[in-house]
Amino acid sequence: MKYWPSLALSIFVFFCLWLPSSVGQAKAPAPGKLLPRFEIPPPQRPIDAQYLGVQDKESFWITDIDAQLVIIEIFSMYCPFCQREAPRINELYEKIESDPQLKGKIKIIGVGAGNSPFEVNFFRKKFNVPFPMFPDNDFAIHKTLGEVRTPYFIVVSNLPDHCPTVIYSKLGSIKNMDEFLKHISKKLSSEAQE
């Protein structure tokens, strides 16, 4: 019986994240729209701050990230679909980092909806996640992004002197990583020419 509170909390968090996004006031960011503004807490690991180019910042915003495209994964430690997707997103990160055309231009971050720093670190260690992950204890970022279900992926164009614009917004697994990378890379090259 001593496990009941943690089991009840897990079930509560799971169902909160799987409620339809129409329940919230905000809507999920749509392609072609500006990304709603939210503050991201400082990275806990120096390697993450270096990867993002946000050293010595108390908190930061997407435009502070040193990349032309930013992939945001909204996840929860308690989401079984996020757990299943974790190795594939690690693979996506490795594909980007090993491609000289993409490395440094595309960065990935994870936002743990309702997750504490402990829960985010647990998820990171369990699934050996190489990219930065951030807690969203109070669901502030999650609410700003329309209280989407998890896992949810948003790709943001982050060109200098432009407002961050959503180019991809979708719930669930990325079915084909190569097609996904080709799709967003095409957006990257076309937007860079504008």
Tokens 């614009």 locate to: 165
* H, E, C per residue of 71-123: EEEEECCCCHHHHHHHHHHHHHHHHHHCCCCCCCCEEEEEEEECCCHHHHHHH
Q: pTM of the predicted model, to two decimals?
A: 0.85
Query: Any idea which fold 23-193 has?
Result: Glutaredoxin (3.40.30)
Residues 122, 176: Cα–Cα separation, whole Å:
27
C-beta of residue 72 within 8 angstroms of C-beta of residue 111 = yes
In the chain, where are the structural domains located?
23-193
| pLDDT tens string 90-129 | 999 999 999 999 999 999 999 999 999 999 999 999 999 9
Task: Give 1's pLDDT tier (boundaries 50, 70, 90).
Answer: very low
Assign 5 a pLDDT band (cuts: 50, 70, 90). very low
**Once rounded to an integer, what is the mean pLDDT over residues 27-44?**
93
